[in-house]
Amino acid sequence: MNADQEVKWATELIEQKLALEEEQKKQCSCPPELPPAVARMDTPLLEDEKRHGLINKGLEGLKGQERVRKSSVDLRREIIEVGGTQYLFELRKKPRKKKEEKKPEPEPEEIKGPITEEDFLKAAVQGKVHVVDKFLEDGGSPDTCDEFRRTALHRVSLEGYIEIAEKLLARGATVDFRDRLDATAMHWACRGGHLDVVKLLQEKGANLNVKDKLLSTPLHVATRTGMIDIVEHLLNNGVDISSLDREGESALHDAVRLNRYKIIKLLILHGADMMAKNLAGKTPTDLVQLWQADTREVLKKQEPDTTEMPV
């Protein structure tokens, strides 16, 4: 099979998977996923993120949420196993709860005395603009960091607090400041899925091809965490699509391993090399073949028979 045939075959397979996912989305009323909170990450955790996608570990009060994906087939089977088809029928009849009206946020408390560096960094995580303002107005450094060299800009980039990010940058925060894992705010904005923050950092001169200790670029990170809009933005802005991480793998290797079908399609359309080999000698196409049999099984599998469900 030559390269053109490989691309055609992979594209057709991706289209089938996307069609299946779209069909499942129509039948599944899962609540929207929330972006993760700041998490302290070390090298093994970054390795886990590379292998399994988004990693969220809550440490020292910095809590995170773990994303769990289930298909409509999995959800329906789980419901049937728990309570049978009658339970599924009753569940469908239940009216959806109305969203509670958001209460107006209370006025910020008056700040007495100076803001400590620890409180400043906590305020960045919590989005407390007035505390950040007070710290900066009192002459505090916008590059103040914790023991892991994580600055306020790192934190707000992950959380998506663009107003605070703008204030920090206006006060001279270093846009490509590296934490202990050599990750910059751009890496963390991609991990959190905040395109507006990515664009702000880019506007302020952030390096879109910067690498962390795993030699991962923002494109690698956005691919692993499934942030399609950010991947598309990075590709449209000419990032190095062939950049390799410490294991010699491109973003396409990651996308295939994690079954990020829409991202695979984007990468291929932007010219990603399906024949590029990692340090283990595997191409993205080789990785596709590892889950090809499972993919075919999923595509052929029909939903559980619900014809006997009461009307």
CA dist., res. 24 & res. 19, Å (int): 9
Residue length of the chain: 311
φ, ψ of residue 97 to 5 degrees: the values are -70, 140
Amino acid letter for position 273: D
- Which structure tokens are listed for 119? 């409180």
Cβ atoms of 62 and 39 within 8 Å: the answer is yes
d(CA 285, CA 293): 13
In 3D space, the residue among 150, 164, 159, 165 whose CA is nearest the CA of residue 118 turns out to be 150
Those residues whose C-beta lies under 8 Å from the C-beta of residue 228, and which sit 6 or more positions away, are 260, 262, 263, 266
Of 151, 146, 158, the residue nearest 176 (C-alpha)? 151
Mind listing the pLDDT tens digit of every residue in the chain (311 residues)?
A: 566 666 677 677 677 777 777 777 777 655 555 545 555 566 777 777 777 777 654 333 433 333 344 444 554 454 444 444 454 455 455 565 565 565 555 556 667 778 999 999 999 999 999 999 999 999 999 999 999 999 999 999 999 999 999 999 999 999 999 999 999 999 999 999 999 999 999 999 999 999 999 999 999 999 999 999 999 999 999 999 999 999 999 999 999 988 898 999 999 999 999 899 999 999 988 887 765 655 556 555 644 554 444 43
State if pTM tops 0.85: no
Which tokens sit at 190?
């991609």
Start-to-end CA span in the chain (Å)? 51
- pLDDT tens for each residue of 96-135: 556 556 555 555 666 777 899 999 999 999 999 999 999 9
**252 close to 262: Cβ distance less than 8 angstroms:** no
